[in-house]
A and B are shown apart, each in its own frame.
Chain A
Amino acid sequence: MTLLLNAKELQETLEKLARQIAAAVPGDVPVAVVGIRRRGETLARRLLPLLEKSGLPPVQYGALDITLYRDDLTTIGPSAVVRKTEVDFDVTDTWLVLVDDVLYTGRSVRAALDALADLGRPRAIRLAVLVDRGLRELPIQADFVGLRADTEPHHVVDVKLVETDGVDRVELNDRRDDG
């Protein structure tokens, strides 16, 4: 196991992301952050006060469940758990920042883009991720990246957050080490 970020570094990385996002916001549009369930949702929620501290007016917040839009349902099988999508505002004409914990193949983001398209037509969609681990299978790139990590397919990037895992840390694990 390699520690990529400890609690303090994770907080600093989020603050850096918030500053990057705030600097990129065009002045004349309503801003929204939408997290991909579940850890992207938690990260998006944490970004809200940081964005305000960076000088943005209050931004809209939502959470997106992409299970029904995935193209790999067959491989993840029945262990996929459908949760609620909670986007209680009109996304049309917003400057929308999609938030996820790890950017890997790009398939989650593709599914999220499809899901967003069914909710409305944002003016622009930007992508913010805590960790970009490379190895894309689709032509998708993040606009705001907290940490870039060189990984191999047999690696697993585990983002642990207090809200869901009781601790803040990002680990790089090797799948081959599991028994």
Chain B
Amino acid sequence: MTAATTDKPVWTHKHLLGLADLTAEEITHVLDTAEGFKEVSTRSVKKVPALRGRVVVTMFFEESTRTRTSFELAAQRLSADVLEFSEKMSSTKKGETLLDTARNIEAMGVDIMILRHPAAGAARHLSEAVRCCVINAGDGQHAHPTQALLDLFTIRERKGRLAGLKVAIVGDITHSRVARSDLRGLQKLGAEVTFVGPPTLVPRAFEALGARVTHDFDSILPEMDVINMLRIQKERISSSVFPSLREYVRLFGMNRERLRRCKPDVLIMHPGPVNRGIELAADVADGPHSSILRQVTNGLAVRMAVLFLCQQAAMNVSGQ
């Protein structure tokens, strides 16, 4: 009847572990679904009952305020009950393993687990051990799929498309799960990705993944449609792989002067939180080309879509 139904569901994933597992069609389906959720946040009653009675737990074994807040708010806007699991208060400090912790939480009747963990592959490991949905909110240097999805969503919203766009990702690519997930998603949807940074942080090895690699930021500025500036993690600055901070800012910082040499409609992105004056000059971060706050807003819609779709898929599997 009025509910649009198709014979074959586009989305059948109960877990979201990384964009590598998804087809271009599935990624586009998440983005399209997120369009429908964007409107919910503009209402006076910012809530829909789609996940009423479901329990979502956020399990973060790494510092993060915005990703966690975004997931919690997304779950609440879908009317789910949200439980925050904090490592500091938990028995993991007493030596309990991740899987034991997760099984204990699941035994309380949890439907969706959202995991942030310093070890690459932690989310997949968890998904093989529990019956509920698992959503990867960042695992080591491996993947951060919802960040990539919200980046894709923001680019599509601003540019109207993804295919054929030239996208530069600038910074510490080696240690960045955002760069890896963005690369996967952008490639699948037909964009061309260039990794930019000093040779120690952007080794040529990334060319094997299909990305262009350059150590000369200035040379590529005029051709880029989108420039995604990654956060410089200050704890790495003292390490031997890093040039001096002054040198980094001089060669790879986005400032007004560099912006002038970009396309007039270039989109400047940043996953946040911004080190003002390091990877991004303050006036660029706050300027009209920047989509930083838009990314945060869109992140909510994208995470609502991911929670909704995974839960739907889980119900369908269990129903059969």
- Seen from chain A, the residues whose Cβ lies within 8 Å of a Cβ on chain B are 36-40, 65-70, 73-86, 100-102, 104, 108, 114-115, 118-120, 157
The reply to whether A82 and B37 contact each other, CB–CB distance below 8 Å, is yes
Give a binary string over B1-16; 1 marks a CB under 8 Å from any A CB, 0 the rest: 1111111111110000
Minimum CB–CB distance from A80 to chain B (whole Å) comes to 6
B312 at the interface (CB under 8 A from A): yes
Closest to B11 in A: A78
The reply to whether B3 and A39 contact each other, CB–CB distance below 8 Å, is no
The contact of B6 among A70, A81, A101, by CB within 8 Å, is A81
Q: How far is the CA of A82 from the CA of B40 in the complex (A)?
A: 12
The interface residues of chain B lying within 8 Å CB-to-CB of A74 are: 315, 319
The reply to whether A81 and B2 contact each other, CB–CB distance below 8 Å, is no
B305 at the interface (CB under 8 A from A): yes
Q: How far is the CA of A53 from the CA of B233 in the complex (A)?
A: 65
Known: A65-B36, A81-B33. A36 touches B5 (CB 8 A): no
- 5 shortest A-B CB distances, which residue pairs? A82-B36, A68-B48, A78-B9, A68-B50, A77-B316
Closest to A156 in B: B1
Q: Would you list 8 pairs from A and B whose C-beta atoms are within 8 A, ordered by A residue?
A: A73-B312, A74-B319, A80-B3, A82-B33, A82-B308, A108-B1, A120-B44, A157-B1
Interface size on B, residues (CB 8 A): 36
Known: A38-B4, A120-B44. A77 touches B36 (CB 8 A): no
The reply to whether A102 and B5 contact each other, CB–CB distance below 8 Å, is no
- Beyond contacts A77-B319, A84-B39, A114-B49: 13 other A-B pairs, Cβ-Cβ < 8 A, are A40-B2, A68-B48, A68-B50, A68-B308, A73-B50, A79-B6, A79-B10, A81-B4, A81-B33, A83-B4, A100-B2, A104-B1, A108-B2
The reply to whether B2 and A66 contact each other, CB–CB distance below 8 Å, is yes
The reply to whether B9 and A83 contact each other, CB–CB distance below 8 Å, is no
Q: How far is the CA of A79 from the CA of B29 in the complex (A)?
A: 11
The reply to whether A118 and B2 contact each other, CB–CB distance below 8 Å, is no
The contact of B43 among A70, A84, A101, A118, by CB within 8 Å, is A118
Give a binary string over B39-58; 1 marks a CB under 8 Å from any A CB, 0 the rest: 11001110111100000000
The interface residues of chain B lying within 8 Å CB-to-CB of A80 are: 3-5, 312
The interface residues of chain A lying within 8 Å CB-to-CB of B1 are: 101-102, 104, 108, 157
Minimum CB–CB distance from A158 to chain B (whole Å) comes to 10
Q: How far is the CA of A102 from the CA of B48 in the complex (A)?
A: 24
Q: How far is the CA of A93 from the CA of B21 in the complex (A)?
A: 48
Q: How far is the CA of A157 from the CA of B2 in the complex (A)?
A: 11
The interface residues of chain B lying within 8 Å CB-to-CB of A108 are: 1-3
The interface residues of chain B lying within 8 Å CB-to-CB of A75 are: 319
Closest to B310 in A: A78
Minimum CB–CB distance from B157 to chain A (whole Å) comes to 13
Q: How far is the CA of A39 from the CA of B10 in the complex (A)?
A: 21
The interface residues of chain B lying within 8 Å CB-to-CB of A68 are: 40, 48-50, 78, 308
The contact of A77 among B48, B50, B315, by CB within 8 Å, is B315
Closest to A64 in B: B2
Minimum CB–CB distance from A175 to chain B (whole Å) comes to 13
Q: How far is the CA of A39 from the CA of B2 in the complex (A)?
A: 7
Minimum CB–CB distance from B164 to chain A (whole Å) comes to 26
B35 at the interface (CB under 8 A from A): yes
The reply to whether B312 and A77 contact each other, CB–CB distance below 8 Å, is yes
Residue from the set B6, B7, B48, B316 with the largest chain A CB neighbour count within 10 Å: B48
B224 at the interface (CB under 8 A from A): no
Q: How far is the CA of A100 from the CA of B1 in the complex (A)?
A: 10
The interface residues of chain A lying within 8 Å CB-to-CB of B11 are: 78
Q: How far is the CA of A18 from the CA of B149 in the complex (A)?
A: 44
The reply to whether B315 and A79 contact each other, CB–CB distance below 8 Å, is no
B313 at the interface (CB under 8 A from A): yes
The interface residues of chain A lying within 8 Å CB-to-CB of B43 are: 118-119
Q: How far is the CA of A68 from the CA of B315 in the complex (A)?
A: 15
